[in-house]
Structure formats: structure tokens, C-alpha cells
Amino acid sequence: MTDIDEGYFFWKRVDLVRPKYTTLKQVVEDAQLNYHLVKVQRSCNRIPKALDAAKLALRLNVSLEWLLTGKILEVEYKHDIYDMHKRQQMNRIFQELLTSDTSKWQHVESVLGIRVPREA
């Protein structure tokens, strides 16, 4: 596999785990990286410097190894994949709730059997 191929798949993995309604620009800025530099790296299928790739991995809640190679250490496999998907699902749910009206919040509270006291 060439460096360009590896860069291409790196960015595909970034897209795979990027929250649905979050732009690459938002992810990059949240990771405190230079968006214009990342945009050039992406367009050229180049992998960022190690520290920048690590910041992206941290922001996306995935391991740096997975982001770089698509592989997870066998020891970590069962827990990391499950945890990664669980975190992604929780993020999606929370993002949806953040943008919804209070009736969805109340429904979730009801289903979970919790009531959060409302301020008067």
C-alpha cells in the first residue's frame, strides 16, 4: 500500500467515526488543529503529523492505532470496538436530544424511570 493509499484510508476512517452532523472543520477546530493545513493534507491524502493525528483520535474517541491502520490490538479488540460504538451511539443520542424539544427529554426520563427536578 502506498502512502497516498494510507492517507486516503486514514481520512475515510475519520469520516466513518465523525459524528453525523459535525463537519470536519468542527472536529479539527475542536482538536485545536489548523483547519487549512488539515484541508490540504486531506486533499492530498496525507496523514497528519503524529501529534495532530493523536489529537484527532482523541477528539473522535478512537485509538490512534485504529485511526492510522484500521486495526485494533487483539487484547483491546472486544472492549475498544464495543466502547467505541457505545460512545458513538451515546454521542448521537445526546446530540439529538440537545437539538430537540423538551418532550423528547421528558419521554427519555419516563422510559428510564428518572425525573430530574425542574427549576421554577
Confidence (pTM): 0.59
Domain ranges of the chain: 3-112
Q: Which residues of the chain have pLDDT under 50?
A: 75, 120
CA–CA gap between residue 25 and residue 55 (Å, rounded): 14
- The per-residue b/e assignment along 34-72, b for 16 or more CB within 10 angstroms, e otherwise, is eeeebeebbeebbbbeeebbbbbbebbebbeebbbeeeb
